[in-house]
Amino acid sequence: MHEGIYFSASLSRNLQTEESMPTLIHSLVEQRSSVLSLAATSRYIFSGSQNEDIVVWDNDTFTLKKTLHGHTGSVLALEYAKDNEWLFSSSGDSTVRVWSTITLEPLYLITPYQDTAAGDLFSLAWLPSLQTIFIGCQNTSLQWLNFNDAITRSQSNASLESTGSSSSGVSTPSKSTSQRQAHKFFDSYPLHERRPADIFARNTGSSRIGGRGSPESDLSLTLISAQSHLEIPSQNVFDSAHYGYIYCITPLHPAENAKEPRIATGSGDETVKIWKCQSVGPTLEHQFELNHGAILAIVAHGDTIFAGCQDGYVKVLDLETKTLIRTIIVAEGIDILSMSMLNSDLFTCSADGWVKRWSASFDCIAGWQAHKGIVLSSVVTKRGIGSELVTGGNDSQIKVWDAIPSTQSISHEVQNSPCIGPHATDIMTYALSKFIAIPSVSSIPSHREDCRQAGIWLRKCLGQLGATTSLLPTGEGINPLVLATFAGTVTGHRKPRILFYGHYDVIAAPQQGWDSKPFVMTGKNGYLYGRGVTDNKGPIISIACAAAHLLSHRALGVDLVFLVEGEEECGSLGFREAVRQHKESIGHIDAILVSNSTWITDERPCITYGLRGVIHCGLEISSNRPDLHSGIEGGGVSEPMVDMVKLLATLTDNKNLVQIPGFYDSVRPENEDEKENFKLLSQITHKPAASLESRWREPSLTIHTVEVSGPKNATVIPGTVKAQISLRIVPDQDINVTTQSLIDYLKKVFQGFQSPNDLQTSVNHSADWWLGNLDDPWFKALESAVREEWGKEPLRIREGGSIPSVPYLEKEFHCHALHLPMGQASDQAHLPNERISLNNLNKGRAVVQRFLQKIADDAFRDHLQPVPP
């Protein structure tokens, strides 16, 4: 483990101080009963309990004011209707009751359609503009009652009943004695009595005042007259509104007073649904597939919806664009059971007893152990000139906390610290510091688990920034791919889909030569230091933050698909096979974006438009004899080392030209535009144009290593000699033809030696060359974005190195790739003191934002690739 990084995947900064912690104003004790629901007015606090009652507390003196009896099941939800001064309560007894918050007397009894078949009534939401209460039921139905219609209908029925006849002329019994039907379970007698259920049964044997079957309970029923017993008609039921229990409902306040207000519902089916509400009932407007466990709590602020899920995740949804814009990790593996809003601040209440407060920027500004057990309910209310947060738990406690505005909950010192002030360590650098802390060195077996953890962390990071994420397997013992999609705004036409490719693995970082710890990101003089900051973790986080920024501003008009591997530094093992296997999950792609190289200087932004390909070849010459002593056998045997030296010497001439027949025949000639570009680059870099061309646009051969068997001392004739060579290839050299030409040449030359030794060749790794299309509209859009952000014309450069996945992805998805380098020439990638300019990261993020907005324009739709059938 490395500094606890695996235990904290959250991107939310912990900004709490002693001053930001809330003060406990008062504790209220609900005797031996869990506090399942809460509501509050400026005068009272109402708590719904597991023991079937609603307890009313005075909000000034915190004394018990009254206990409201009537329900015969746990009180699961409370909803305050301020316009009418009503309190709605729903219960496990399949009823909703309405109470006056002024007189604390019962007003209405509401039974759902089909009575108890609705099951537990988990959630309530009141829309004053429609005078309608919405009810989320255990049987997955969404039911509603419009009071204007219901009271008129009830009065009409009561008038008919007073004459002893129904609308059909049939005599009906009076409801003056009982206002509900007997429940076959709650109102049943012991089995041995063999009596049918009725509302006066005492199946629990309880003698508690106000309990089921008690005189006080029966009295509460008779207090509600026939005119006040309201039944939900069949047409006010949306059957199977979800495929799970409807645990939570919230009004969407921006539209509350509109002609068509909206509500959001959350369910055990892992979805949030948006309903447009009219007088005739709700219609489904949109469905968010969150796929992160049951939605147990839901609140809204403006056009933003917060959905609290199982396992400690809060999904942040944008109502206007119908997109997921962020995920907050509250505490992994711990369910979020209640949430409340105070202005733009979010309070989350969890099953571990903790309450946390989150700012509008999703930072944790306070967190505390509020209850010894589970926090089941919460509500924010006004108290005097301030606000208070009321929480209830299964420890029988109701606690009242001060809830001051968030600007006051952070001390003056913290507000003016470098972490929060105008030079803030924002989410990008905070996330990057966590990413760098994972030593994901793919070439060292002891770091294999670190690499896997880096992939897991990155998936969680991108998820919190608003993407839907998954890990794709690449084979046994090979690091997984991270697949994440930032879905753009829902529109009536097809959006561009851009694939961003990167890698989360890094090269080894021995401590020698470093001025700071390689896996602790360090800032100095405008630069961030650490292994991977420029290659390739910094660009990955920068581009992810660009997408997150556009999401949060409802301006992401494309789908940005991240495909990040963990084996790039080892030749992208398993990458191609995994992409082919999961191509359907990746989806159709219109263009590919890469950011995995550096500028040619430190001052001028660049766009890379070409990479050389590579062919790595291993040679082995063996005598099929053991190592020999040179003093005894020297001169009497044909030595493998001599053959190897002679063979390697034939690969190039004294002008360093490769001697493989036909090697240069298919190299693409240089055109006039390229000559002018190299002349410009020569002036800027003060390097000869020929030197740049030989590194970027001309092929080459390199001898990397020569290894011998035996003890490697000066008296031994090695029995086996191995060498590694590579070819860098360029347009239009065919990689397969060039590979075969190399093998054929080596074998032919070796045969000419007439040596008794054996030659074996093997191609260990190869990657094709890549050349971008400078006239492509995608390239021009990226070039324009760089020009606008930096105020400079970007340089067009090529690279002598290779990125195997880029040409492969182009061929696999039949689209063009673009390469935006973010680092500077002095970034020391793969070397000690690797760094990247903080300005470059910020500018790079802004460039990508501009680019994504450009290609989302309607005029760009003509350049989209046709989607295959």
Distance between CA atoms of 429 and 527, rounded to whole angstroms?
11
Distance between CA atoms of 493 and 142, rounded to whole angstroms?
32
Distance between CA atoms of 55 and 76, rounded to whole angstroms?
13
Distances (CA, A) of 317 to 322, 532, 642: 7, 32, 70
Distance between CA atoms of 355 and 297, rounded to whole angstroms?
14
Length reported for the chain = 869
Radius of gyration of the chain (CA): 36
Nearest to residue 800, comparing CAs of 724, 701, 653, 705? Answer: 701
Tokens 């309903």 sit on residue: 275
Asked if residues 164 and 157 have their Cβ atoms less than 8 Å apart, the reply is no
Structure tokens belonging to residue 664:
């240069």
Q: What share of the chain is helix, strand, coil (3-state, %, to 5)?
A: 25, 35, 45
Distance between CA atoms of 79 and 90, rounded to whole angstroms?
9
Distance between CA atoms of 384 and 377, rounded to whole angstroms?
22
End-to-end CA distance of the chain: 47
Tokens 């299964």 sit on residue: 394
Distance between CA atoms of 838 and 836, rounded to whole angstroms?
6
Rounded to 5 degrees, φ, ψ at 722 are -120, 150
Tokens 């002679």 sit on residue: 646
Give bridge partners of residue 823 from the DSSP assignment: 598
What is the longest distance spanned by two Cα atoms in the chain?
Answer: 129
Question: What residues are labeled active site?
Answer: 505, 568
Distance between CA atoms of 856 and 850, rounded to whole angstroms?
10
Query: What is the side-by-side strand order in the sheet with 527-529?
Result: 522-524, 527-529, 835-837
The backbone region for 119, taken as left when phi is positive above 0, alpha when psi lies in -120 to 50, beta otherwise, is: left
**Count of CA atoms in the C-beta half-sphere (13 A) of 18:** 1
- Count CB atoms within 10 A of the CB of residue 855: 24
Show the CA angle centred on residue 657, arms to residues 652 and 660, nearest 5°.
65
Distance between CA atoms of 521 and 528, rounded to whole angstroms?
6
The torsion angle over the Cα atoms of residues 773, 778, 784 and 788, rounded to 10 degrees, is -140
Nearest to residue 323, comparing CAs of 182, 478, 488, 203? Answer: 488
Give bridge partners of residue 56 from the DSSP assignment: 46, 66
- Count CB atoms within 10 A of the CB of residue 143: 27
Nearest to residue 228, comparing CAs of 109, 68, 88, 103? Answer: 109
Structure tokens belonging to residue 104:
């604390």
C-alpha dihedral sign at 252, 256, 261, 265: positive
Distance between CA atoms of 120 and 564, rounded to whole angstroms?
45
Bond prior to 536 in cis (omega within 30° of 0): yes
User: What residue type is 354 in one-letter code?
Assistant: W
Distance between CA atoms of 145 and 129, rounded to whole angstroms?
13
The torsion angle over the Cα atoms of residues 23, 27, 32 and 37, rounded to 10 degrees, is -70
Task: Convert 465-485 to b/e letters by CB count within 10 Å (16 or more is b).
Answer: bbbbbbbbebeeebbbbbbbb
